[in-house]
Structure 1
């Protein structure tokens, strides 16, 4: 069989990769530090240089001898960086600066003083990409520093970053192909440019649920390395708040108190004002979008729920492109809020009393609007439903209500296996854990400052938009399966999906006593000062690289089981609208899978409508894993049946799109594509694998997985 253009390209790529591999330079030297470190104990600073500040100038004008830099997408890297910075400063009495990577220009790392330690906490986003906040830093590393690589070791003192003393903790997910790509890349490029790795490179794996344990192991190794190589003196760690709660005076104007409003624009502004309709809307300022329509997608016979929700953007300048993500800002459910109150004995008087939060250093940044109340923070700002870590339990143990509880907390926090058996496996959150340890005795000694600093703040939840910006210009659809799980001791619910379920149930006036839909938890749907009433929810749009080909005539293969069909629905609707507009569109081959054709077949009635419009240009192939008790059928099984047609689409320069579970489905689907190429083109596995890898590099194989 003759090789086509794609085949030749693949073979050339393999040759180049092989050549690169066998001619790469030797491993780099880690080096040691020569300069001593200051032991002054100043307050930890979370520095905001949003004006494009120069980190070198900041360090020269201050007395900080350590910098913790984080690049975070969902807040996890920020949370770990903050914990590390506080403990590092407390343990070694080294003045530490905490920095969001997007707040500073880092293109002059070669000028960082030699007596400064730099710690990078770098999350990997998507398929090996830098987070949005770290994109500029990534470009600098890949475009400028990568060009300085030497073919041999050379003189370390002459390398660009020989002044830099650093360590890296990468945050990633092993279910993705490019696991911890960003952390690895940062470590490699810095080292290649002469930077000294003064503590071991570490990485955490969210895919295996071991992020906390991975971090703790790395942190201990890091501290030991620093003590041994730099002769740092370790001190007993004590809790030192970096913020102070200041009660407001009796005559304080309550209208100026934030009761859960997302930011200052929603406090006293008229909702028709420009600030509330023109944005810009992003992760710091959401739009309160009305949910104009919602419905259940699963059948009434199902014991699971899936919500279709439509967000009206017409009264704002907020827009999206087909394939983008909608970020939903959730609040905490009533039941978890009350449980938190119980755990810390927060009375109504304590909850409603306004207070301000003052940083103990003038440049510390408070990440939520103030003045506020404890009630507002617990419901709208603190991630009280999330998992608890051994480190958190160790830190809070000093505030235990009695000696027995303190001993139990210390035992669990120091024993990985016991902690896993009693806490992690049962998915207990902070309130659950503390009440279990103390036999329901409230932890009244815990300062609220500690909770503000130690509990991660609620982050937006991201959903693939299931509509088309061409056919629904001012409406964004999302498709969400309601998350709920029962452990041995409790029901665990997804915060955002159950919020959507509450909206759907109330919007459609389904009374719990008359309906099969009975939410496990409830929410305050009116929101602070009733600003969320009439089913409004705070949202923003996150741009995505998951996009249709520029040329509408390009064939596309879509693989989206379960809610992975959400963006595929948007793609199909886009092509339908283009077709109606007289545009020549390419063929669509959609593989969709669910459990049962009569239970959870999403948008079942719609696909026939699209077929009526597109005719032979659209083909949908279904797989039902529980339709036949004797045989489970998945999308990859059906793909193998269509191997000839898939190869035909690929030969016609078609694009591949996969959306859904990253842990198994995405890998199985990729392996199936490789099998099909081997079968249809008579390639060996190495060439077929490299062909798919080449497709990904050229954006012809795109994944939107979680």
Structure 2
């Protein structure tokens, strides 16, 4: 079944599957074993001796990788930082596990010269996220395109090379884990030999557990080939926690500044000016949602309706000051971070541009309020001076303390800053803090809520401001949404544009059905602006239905006046609204209106119409999908299986698109 980790579908049934899998696995292990042994034999006949440290230092000869070491490249393609974190976790655990037998390196695919470096990798481990509806991440697009070119040219750049693939995705998308599945298939076609079945991580459930299970299968394969395993474990991984070389420089040392320092490659931001920030909810609302207008003039950024904008936020001054206090370093200290020499550098990505003040590093580069993960807790345990703090952190970071971690850290949404406040004796060095404990602050992606032809050089963001109480009674405030809401006219923010496949049909006459409650309306506002521009140019428009929902029309019916105008002008054929909390005795959601209008919805689909869903993935998208299945049964007399197959067909041909989070 799609999404079950490691499950593959082969023609021939389970018996043939088992035999084929065993044969492929045995061949992969044998190949890796022969390669490793041949290196040892070659080295034993040289004057340098076996297992010599690359640096020539014999002091830790057993643990340092030698010239005979199998070169394992852990390649990651990430959009939000999870694949990068998993790659570093895997490498950190591998170092004590295999000692000098293998050298593991975590590499960002965007920084990897794959034409030059692929032949030098003995084993390739790929951790790749799927973005949007089956697309590669920005960083992976060139690599995926090159692999496609190699396949079309009948090349075999991975001939005999053992590989493993773990995909990161969300089951709410039709093309769940498309990149993981694609790479696993393509690596095989290009001559690679699968070490472990493809892992399919599901962010809709528990992707951490998915990765842990897949990693255990990977270790089993590598253990058989390399004879490792004895040196592994959480304690050993904590001892191998990577740290940058950190130096506090004299006061007045110039900083390495510039917006480009916040990202690289496709994600390098430009500075754009804030033209407007206005509240969309009424004064009666207990919540907040802001409309932000960004002036693009001179930034070099461009977009089309349906694209995403990546906003690079800053931490609040309150959070920054608290973090500096816990680290025991003044905020105005000028810091230089650099990669250490030797094997430790394999565990780290390039540091943020320095010299920089600690204030700059904590404000723009460090995720202080996001989720904290077990490897970070293990690193904190290693530097805790209080025995009780050390033991508690060690438990929370261990496999044995998994349930305790879930109940004390994950469920109440304790951030890194919260955890450090709870364990004040765990005071890491700056090198360890930025290298192994604090994740890099990632851009936040928003569906652009405007169309360029109607926006006079501007781009709009529709942002729900996250400011809520957690189950543990603490206040949870969204870093990016709170930061955007605080901006004033004339301020500059770093941002980049991410293209999307979530687009209007090429033909204006094609009917469209849009489903977007809450801020899910964002891309549809852009769609309607684009349709209005086409109508003004004399184009004929197909029918357009919009299903919008919110809690209370008097409080959070955002863009109501604009939507009514679109209906009056004929740009929008009909607006269906659902208000979930107006009537205490009745819940009213968009899916109820889809079912009530089943014949009309499926009638338009039968005319070649396109379906669009935008908004919450965990609840709304699931409920809407079920409603569409039920509506097909009702309107077309289909069985449930046939209705679900119809939606699957529409997704495959690009007529059922989701932009969900």
- Shared fold per TM-score greater than 0.5: yes
Match of 2:455 among 467, 472, 491: 472
| Residue of structure 2 equivalent to 1:103 | 111
Is the 8 Å Cα contact of residues 297 and 600 (structure 1) preserved in structure 2? yes
Match of 1:120 among 121, 126, 138: 126
Spell out the pairing of 1:77-226 with structure 2 (5 A cutoff).
77-93=83-99, 94-104=102-112, 106=114, 111=119, 116-141=122-147, 145=151, 161=158, 163-191=160-188, 195-199=192-196, 201-208=198-205, 210-226=206-222
Is the 8 Å Cα contact of residues 36 and 69 (structure 2) preserved in structure 1? no
In structure 1, how many angstroms separate the alpha carbons of the residues matched to 2:592 and 2:88? 46
More displaced stretch, 553-562 vs 197-206: 197-206
Task: Note the alpha carbon deviations across 1:189-235, whole angstroms, 9 max, x for none.
Answer: 43466633435643433222x33343344434433442244213644
In structure 2, how many angstroms separate the alpha carbons of the residues matched to 1:99 and 1:695? 37
Alignment gaps of 5+ in structure 2: 1-8, 41-50, 56-64
More displaced stretch, 360-369 vs 127-136: 360-369
In 2 relative to 1, CA 422–353 (structure 1 residues): closer, same or farther, beyond 3 Å?
same
Please state if 1:360 is matched with 2:315: no
In structure 1, how many angstroms separate the alpha carbons of the residues matched to 2:68 and 2:307? 42
What secondary structure is seen at the aligned counterpart in 2 of 1:323? coil
Please state if 1:65 is matched with 2:65: no
Aligned length: 606
Spell out the pairing of 1:89-488 with structure 2 (5 A cutoff).
89-93=95-99, 94-104=102-112, 106=114, 111=119, 116-141=122-147, 145=151, 161=158, 163-191=160-188, 195-199=192-196, 201-208=198-205, 210-232=206-228, 234-235=230-231, 236-237=236-237, 238-239=239-240, 241=242, 243-249=244-250, 254=253, 256-258=254-256, 261-263=258-260, 283-346=266-329, 348=330, 351-361=331-341, 366-414=350-398, 415-436=401-422, 438=423, 441-444=424-427, 446-454=428-436, 455-487=438-470, 488=472
What secondary structure is seen at the aligned counterpart in 1 of 2:459? strand
Is the 8 Å Cα contact of residues 127 and 167 (structure 2) preserved in structure 1? yes
In structure 1, how many angstroms separate the alpha carbons of the residues matched to 2:536 and 2:165? 52
After TM superposition, the score normalised by the length of structure 1 is 0.79
| Residue of structure 2 equivalent to 1:574 | 530
Question: How far does residue 475 in structure 1 lie from its aligned partner after superposition?
Answer: 0.6
Is the 8 Å Cα contact of residues 446 and 461 (structure 2) preserved in structure 1? yes
| Residue of structure 2 equivalent to 1:596 | 552
Spell out the pairing of 1:500-511 with structure 2 (5 A cutoff).
500-503=484-487
More displaced stretch, 70-79 vs 667-676: 667-676
In 2 relative to 1, CA 63–352 (structure 1 residues): closer, same or farther, beyond 3 Å?
farther
Question: How far does residue 563 in structure 1 lie from its aligned partner after superposition?
Answer: 0.7
CA RMSD across the alignment = 3.2
Please state if 1:630 is matched with 2:612: no
Match of 1:652 among 593, 604, 607: 607
Question: How far does residue 568 in structure 1 lie from its aligned partner after superposition?
Answer: 0.6
In 2 relative to 1, CA 138–102 (structure 1 residues): closer, same or farther, beyond 3 Å?
same
Question: How far does residue 66 in structure 1 lie from its aligned partner after superposition?
Answer: 1.4
Question: How far does residue 67 in structure 1 lie from its aligned partner after superposition?
Answer: 0.8
In structure 1, how many angstroms separate the alpha carbons of the residues matched to 2:116 and 2:647? 37
Is the 8 Å Cα contact of residues 274 and 491 (structure 2) preserved in structure 1? yes
In structure 2, how many angstroms separate the alpha carbons of the residues matched to 1:173 and 1:492? 24
In structure 2, how many angstroms separate the alpha carbons of the residues matched to 1:391 and 1:365? 16
After TM superposition, the score normalised by the length of structure 2 is 0.84
Match of 2:617 among 662, 665, 679: 662
In structure 1, how many angstroms separate the alpha carbons of the residues matched to 2:567 and 2:265? 37
In 2 relative to 1, CA 40–67 (structure 1 residues): closer, same or farther, beyond 3 Å?
farther
Match of 1:607 among 558, 563, 567: 563
In structure 1, how many angstroms separate the alpha carbons of the residues matched to 2:112 and 2:157? 20
Alignment gaps of 5+ in structure 1: 1-19, 44-58, 150-158, 267-279, 508-533
